[in-house]
Chains A and B, each alone.
Chain A
Amino acid sequence: MHQPDDELEQELRRLAARAEPVPAELVQAAEDAFAWRDIDAEIAELVYDSLLDAEEASLVRGPAEQRMISFTAGGMTIDVEVTGAGPGRSVMGQITPPQRATVEIRHRQDTVTVEADELGRFRSGTLPPGPASLRLRPPPGAPGPPIVTDWISL
């Protein structure tokens, strides 16, 4: 350890804490995130996001391109296509194997509920940008726990 280095780093830390502290409303939001836990649900993990996992070359296309995201839980796959930019996004999804489900799209301001048809297809209306997660409930009478996807940023 070099003492002068530690002192200089501490000086920088003090400056950063004053000049650009963590906004208080974000600390509050992080505390509130705990309330979103759904301990009964199975998690559908994010396994593919074209934004990060697509070939570099395909990322330099125009702004209108769609983003493809896949989640898996057990034997189920949820493929989602996100379109739109600026203040409005929309989501189109496919559950595989195809099945009916109630899909709750949870986002910062609200929860939007849509139904997946017998082919496992669903689509949202306009959603605001920001954190979002899907929660799938099997139709009444069908077995199995609800499934929640990893949170993504729309």
Chain B
Amino acid sequence: MTGWRTLLYKEVLRFWNVAFQTIAAPVLTAVLYLLIFGHVLEDKVEVFPGVGYTSFLIPGLVMMSVLQNAFANSSSSLIQSRINGNLVFLLVSPLSHRAWYAAYVGASVVRGLAVGCGVFLVTVWFAPPHFAEPWWILVFALLGAGMLGSMGLIAGLWAERFDQMAAFQNFVIMPMTFLSGVFYSVHSLPGVWQTVSHLNPFFYMIDGFRRGFFGVSDVSPWLSLAVVGASFLAVAALTLRLLASGYKLRQ
């Protein structure tokens, strides 16, 4: 166990030690969304022909959980370590900025996928799953979790207090996840909001992910892959640059 793998292990152990809060709680939240929205809207909304609303909603909720928890893992770990001061143990180590990135984002992906799998397993009781094009499920889950893990690192570096972190979460992450088509197809939105949604990279993550389940999507999965892949690379490059420069880490 050396270098970045130690940090990855430590970051995984950190959330695993409090799994009730970091895995069970978000699974319950997602199931509550499904119970309430699924029950209310099941007979009233049909987004894709032949797909019930509950079935439609499940992949969106799974992906939303993956994204939110990937973000929560790196952001909360980093800001807690900075505020507690125990980040010094890492700062005095010889680990490179690439090692930091790989470990923090890696642990975010693990947490995101763990919660995503948890949500999926529970929702199987509500509607039988389809796996029309399963490779898209894996590709978009990994890219989405990686991107949100990176954004969590950026937020963890930028925020100096917990309220700034909450602001980042409430004013950036939450709107982007909710306006991404988790609960609806963007085709059902008025024109201007459709345009806005198409500017949101989270829309492509959800749309591509859902494609893997139903084999239908609002846009081509290849377009989604291009947008999500490019967004991920841009965010990863920015995060690596911030880490390398010691932004807010080394005065």
Q: Do A and B come from one complex?
A: no
Question: Could you list which residues of chain A lie within 8 angstroms of chain B, going by C-beta atoms?
Answer: none
